[in-house]
Amino acid sequence: MKQRVELRNHPVELYKFRLRLAISAGFVFVLFLFLYARFYYLQVIQQEHYHTLAEANRISILPLVPNRGLISDRNGKVLAQNYSAYTLEVVPSKIQDLESTLNELAAIIEITPTDRQRFRKLLKESKRFKRLPIKNRLTDVEIATFAANRYRFPGIEINAQVYRQYPEKEIVSHVIGYISRINDQDLEQLESSGELHNYRGSHHIGKIGVEQSYEKQLHGVTGFEEVETDAAGRSIRVLSRTPPIPGNNLILTLDLGLQEAAEIAFGDRRGALVALDPNNGEVLAFVSKPGYDNNLFIGGIDQENWSILNNSIDRPLNNRALRGVYPPGSTFKPFMALAALELGKRTAEYSMSDPGYFSLPGVSRRYRDWKPGGHGRVDLHKSLVVSCDTYYYSLANDLGIDNIHNFISQFGLGSKTGIDIEGEASGLLPSSAWKMRQHKQKWYAGDTISVSIGQGYNLTTPLQLAFATMIIANNGKAYLPHLVKQIQNSQTGEVEDIPAKLHYSLNLTPKNLEVVKNALVDVTRPGGTAAKAGANAAYTFAGKTGTSQVVGIKQGERYNEKLINERHRDHAMFIAYAPADDPKIALAILVENTGTGGSTAAPIARQVFDYFLLGTLPETDPAHLIEPIQDHAHDHL
């Protein structure tokens, strides 16, 4: 059988081949068309965008942190300054095994347990930071050692930093405050206020005191530097530079010499002193004892020092002058006396017999005077000079609590003064409405008796007492207390004065004011409760002693200091101004757990006045002025 031979149709095959070739060519053409379109899009349409990205890879924008403004006292003595040093910093995001890397680093540079504790604390609090310090203020040897081994530690860098320093440490720590590492809470606040962009590259911010309240003035304006880098990220050259603007300098109203004089006069005692210029509200001295070394907080305080400060029974971190609230004791009486005269409840001539106690009508309980047997016949003048409690018990019952509150609140007691640093406590000047609101109880006549001598619900700060004393000294003018006197522009050197702000003026009857002021002068003369402090003074000063009760004394018992724990003993108080005829300084003093104001607080005031008015430095042991604490009953119910 013959095999059949199949004949090919060449035209058809050629057509199919050409069709497949055309389809393939079309497909390739479309691909090239898409590729061309993509190239055109990237290189023409998106040219500017990708050019910017390329430049960004080549150019780094580095923030330039401004130098922080300096802080000095009114005489130019530096209280906060800057210095440069090198810091070893860690970039956690670039390190896989952080603990192992730190161990290797510790083999060539000493990393103490304290350094590690501080680093871990910062790492926990500042998760959004790219760089965190592991060791501050490197020595030249440490810098050279790390430079030689740098290739072994990617993610660890040496950077120059400007550090803050507080030369006076404890003496002004509560006024100046401190700067410390910016944490996440600070970042959130900066972001919400629109200031975050100005803190790029900054690691510190003011936390308390003047450093916090004047942060915007002190920080300055961050600059920028455009730097060309190579593929390894190393800088090649600087393309452009916008220099930072340093923060402005602050000149405070404080007199450092006066501050030091007060510190010496206090010795080792705990307490507070605030001295104001009654003519403008400038704060001349602002003491809180004990203080603390604010330098400890700059790089982040270590756990050991934090525990010492935070757990100390003396509470050195507590700003007693600004936030400490205490019953004002008998320093409250001058304001009660003014209320009596201004509201017509007493005249200067009115007198009463003081048997040593006072009883409300129909009530058997006796409210005792500090002097057993009383003071005999007492008028308003004598009531202040000898600090007669009975006179004020009777007066308070006639005035009523709401008259007392409404009148005395004009002197700033029980409310913030408005000083230019944050954290001020309000204190408390009670009223019937306050008690109902706070305790859901009505006000009783016995409550008023306690208030009359600065006890009971009464709470004031030393700053408030100094403010109220200033108002008496300058015949009713209430200036806002302020700590910053001038601001110096860091670029031009021009100095801007911070003007005194008259908050308000009280319309006090001159005759009534004169009666009270004359009595306050006699408090410091023979027969007065501060006579020893006023003895042989080359000037005349006015004042009022007070004793602030810490624990209550039962009815029928007498105060005996020897039987009371030292921390439960009364606080000594004193308010004063000098010279009496032309006041240049008004102050309030609190000395904790040391007894009566006349024996402890008034002598400290005398030494402060002597320095301010005469230039006489206090003795390191002021025992020649301070009387031993007497065993007697005083200001107790």
Helix axes 389-399, 401-408, angle to 10 degrees: 100
Residue that wins the pLDDT comparison between 22 and 169: 169
Mean pLDDT computed over 577-595: 93
pLDDT at 421 over 80: yes
Q: What is the pLDDT of residues 94-107, one digit of tens each?
A: 777 778 888 888 88
pLDDT at 154: 81
Instruction: Report the alpha-carbon distance of residue 562 to residue 69 in Å, rounded.
Output: 51
Q: Are 421 and 322 in contact (CB under 8 A)?
A: yes
Beta bridge partners of 161: 85
What are the backbone angles phi and psi of residue 492, rounded to the nearest 5°? -95, -20
Through-space distance between the first and last CA atoms of the chain, rounded to whole angstroms:
145
Choose the catalytic residue: 126, 288, 330, 452.
Answer: 330
Q: What is the pLDDT of residues 253-290, one digit of tens each?
A: 999 999 999 999 999 899 999 999 999 999 999 999 99
Q: Give the rounded distance of the alpha carbon of 439 from its chain centre.
A: 31
Q: Is 375 annotated as a binding residue?
A: yes
Q: Is 354 annotated as a binding residue?
A: yes
pLDDT at 437: 94
Q: Are 246 and 217 in contact (CB under 8 A)?
A: no
pLDDT at 4 over 80: no
Q: What is the pLDDT of residues 41-96, one digit of tens each?
A: 777 787 776 666 555 566 777 788 899 999 999 999 999 999 888 888 887 777 77
Q: What is the pLDDT of residues 438-473, one digit of tens each?
A: 999 999 999 999 999 999 999 999 999 999 999 999
412 dihedral zone (left: phi>0; alpha: psi -120 to 50; beta): left
635 confidence band (pLDDT: 50, 70, 90): very low
Please, how many CA atoms are within 13 Å of residue 9, restricted to the half-sphere of its CB? 4
pLDDT at 629: 36
Residue 600, classed as helix, strand or coil, is: helix
- Comparing 149-158, 184-193, 213-222, 251-260, the range with the smallest average pLDDT is 149-158
Residue 19 burial (C-beta neighbours within 10 Å; 0-12, 13-18, 19+) = exposed
Q: Is 369 annotated as a binding residue?
A: yes
Mean pLDDT computed over 364-389: 93
Q: What is the DSSP string of 41-105?
A: IIIIITHHHHHHHHHHHHEEEEEEPPPPPPEE-TTS-EEEEEEEEEEEEE-GGG-SSHHHHHHHH
Q: Are 205 and 215 in contact (CB under 8 A)?
A: yes
Q: Across the chain, what does the average pLDDT equal? A: 86
**C-alpha angle 422-460-435 in degrees, rounded to nearest 5:** 110
Q: Which of 333, 424, 420 is nearest to 380 (CA)?
A: 333
> What dihedral do alpha carbons 467, 473, 474, 476 form, nearest 10°?
70
> What dihedral do alpha carbons 41, 42, 43, 48 form, nearest 10°?
110
Q: Does residue 330 carry a catalytic annotation? A: yes
Residue 328, classed as helix, strand or coil, is: coil
558 confidence band (pLDDT: 50, 70, 90): low
625 confidence band (pLDDT: 50, 70, 90): very low
Q: What is the pLDDT of residues 198-220, one digit of tens each?
A: 988 888 899 999 999 999 999 99
pLDDT at 476 over 50: yes
Q: Which amino acid is at 13?
A: E
Domain residue extents for the chain: 92-154
Residue 207, classed as helix, strand or coil, is: strand
Instruction: Report the alpha-carbon distance of residue 610 to residue 591 in Å, rounded.
Output: 19
pLDDT at 29 over 60: yes
pLDDT at 521: 97
Q: What is the pLDDT of residues 318-347, one digit of tens each?
A: 999 999 999 999 999 999 999 999 999 999
Mean pLDDT computed over 123-142: 74
pLDDT at 214: 95
